[in-house]
Amino acid sequence: MSIRLFFSIFLSMIALNVAAQGRELPDFTDLVDKHGSAVVNVSTTQTVRGNRTLPQFPELDEDDPMFEFFKRFIPRQPGMPRDFQSKSLGSGFIISPDGYILTNAHVVDSADEIAVKLTDKREFKAKVIGTDKRTDVALIKIEASGLPTVKMGDPGKLRVGEWVVAIGSPFGFESSVTAGIVSAKGRALPQENFVPFIQTDVAINPGNSGGPLFNMKGEVVGINSQIYSRTGGYMGVAFAIPIDVAMEVQSQLRISGRVSRGRIGVVIQELTKELAESFGLSKATGALVNAVEKGGPAEKAGVEAGDIILKFDGKAIAASSDLPRIVGATRPGSKVSMQVWRKGATRDLGVTVGEIPEEKTAQRSQKRAKPAEAAANRLGLVLSELSPEQKRELKIANGLLIEDVRANGSRTDLRPGDVILAVVHKGSSTEASSVDQFNKLLTQFDKSATITLLVRRGEQQTYITLKGLGDK
């Protein structure tokens, strides 16, 4: 064989190998072209009661450059409360040609106005049909027809390692496309009992919330909802709500504006290998009951503390986190079978499922000073300590309730009713235990410092980063 022939064959083999590798790389262009038009930008405006006071200039519009001049250089006059607008951005996607849109509940929560922008630059005002904070799903609607829609996929068919694509508006950059793989399925998160999350490494940032997660067939398999981050930005761990869970929620929201969930009244814990052995079980599967609500559905059905729930309505309970989700998806009033392990044997019980009451959130204390009379801290926040009753309702040990947000436009991402749980700075987290302790902690930071607050909003927890704290 001649040297020329050898090199010709060698180069051909390299070319074939490169081509084969090229064919293995995913191409997202067709997916984006076909389905990107059904993804929308969702912007909200909320009026916040503040104390951002100015002398009265009735003839001066806030868009006038002179308004900013007077605001900065004319001394403020106390006792002139003003309303100011808090704005936020998110994403969503169209599920019906007549304008029904799915997004996250936290995107539209407490919004006074909701604006939806399509990829063709048309804008519409949207109304909230209903929200479900427990799954973080919201259904909104715009008055339009003939709209492009997404196709629904089956999250159950997703495989770990499979390519997925997110489209949304991170930081307000509309129609941004990011891709990654499925990292895990059925992920249970703390305080999230009703969603078996899809974990991905898709780049998800603030503004992506509510946007769709596509499989390679161009089908929506989830709603991008949360990120795990120590900085407030992308760190390779994102969570999406499976679309089958979201569609079940939206169907109830569309009919009644609320979601009804089942409950049986038990307190459960994870069954470890050691516990399983002590109860005589060969496998650590099921939910261990450590308390039964007096007079609740489970007690009436004969459930006892120490029982291990193996099946509910014919569905196996592989882990304790499965039980709240399965029970919650059961229609209240239904009578279903339940298999429990007790004293070395299985027993079949019949239980009539109850209904979870409306969620409770922290309310502003009526016994404290009015926001207008209370002093704001360095961040422009009026804070109060939670009462024992509020702590019990929220199931938290400590936290500070935001009574009012004042005089600092950079804090508009914080809202009255939020509960501050902790302060994070340079990798160190400090629990917010009292107003004095929190305010003293703030004095330790330079005015240019960046801190992150862990905030409880309804039943959701989120990290909010504040850049530049101002003077002490």
For the annotated catalytic residues, the residue numbers are 106, 136, 209
Q: Give SS3 for 242.
A: strand
What does the block give as tokens for 45?
């405006």
Q: Is residue 155 within 8 Å of 242, Cβ to Cβ? A: yes
Residue 223 to residue 214: CA distance in whole angstroms: 9
Q: C-alpha dihedral over 364, 368, 373, 379, to 10 degrees?
A: -60
Closest CA to 284 of 310, 323, 313, 266: 310
Which residue in this structure is represented by tokens 């509940």? Answer: 105
Closest CA to 42 of 194, 170, 146: 170
Residue 92 to residue 116: CA distance in whole angstroms: 9
What is the Cα 304 distance to its own chain's centre?
Answer: 34
Q: Is residue 424 within 8 Å of 452, Cβ to Cβ? A: yes
**Tally of helices (H runs) and strands (E runs) in the chain:** 10, 27
What does the block give as tokens for 386?
């939670």
Q: Is residue 441 within 8 Å of 417, Cβ to Cβ? A: no
What does the block give as tokens for 3?
């040297």
Residue 104 to residue 281: CA distance in whole angstroms: 41
Residues pairing with 345 in the sheet: 342
Kindly tell me the sign of the dihedral angle through the C-alpha atoms of 65, 69, 74, 77.
positive
Amino acid (1-letter code) at residue 221: V
Kindly tell me the sign of the dihedral angle through the C-alpha atoms of 370, 375, 379, 384.
negative
Amino acid (1-letter code) at residue 51: N
Q: What angle do CA 197, 199, 201 make, to 5 degrees?
A: 155
